[in-house]
Amino acid sequence: MWTSVRPWFEDKCPHRAAPLSEGRIEDDGTLLCAYHAWRFDGSGKCTSMPQASSRAEEERVKSNPRSCASVRPTMEAQAGGNREYVRDQQNCAEG
Ligand code: FES
């Protein structure tokens, strides 16, 4: 029996390819990259880039598909805690 769907992030930030595994999950559920603090939601969409020089620049960069982290869904089994891929789902970088 499946209990939950969780995103699996490729260990590579779309900004400068830093390992996302060195980041952390914030209180709002976003994944924070440890290097320049870009944040990504569960679909891989960039939700924050604090070093942007203006709100307009931040919105322009966030809307670029190249700013999306690569994400694939996984499902977690109730017994044993094994995770398996269940389907290939589009993330924000794929439209
Ligand atoms: S390398 Fe991840 S935010 Fe810059």
CA 36 to centroid of ligand 1, rounded, Å: 5
User: Which range of residues forms the domain containing residue 33?
Assistant: 2-94
The DSSP-derived string for the chain is -EEEEEEEE-S--TTT---GGGSEE-TTSPEEPTTT--EE-TTS-EEE-TT-SSHHHHHHHHTSGGGPPPEEEEEEESSTT-EE-------GGG-
Q: Summarize pLDDT for 1-47 with one digit per residue, the tens.
A: 555 667 788 999 999 999 999 999 999 999 999 999 999 998 899 99
Band (pLDDT 50/70/90 cuts) for residue 91 is low
- Number of independent structural domains in the chain: 1
* Pocket of ligand 1 contains residue 22 by CB under 6 Å: no
Band (pLDDT 50/70/90 cuts) for residue 72 is confident
Q: What percent of the chain has pLDDT over 70?
A: 74
* Per-residue pLDDT at 88 exceeds 60: no
CATH of the domain at 27: 2.102.10.10
pLDDT of residue 39: 97
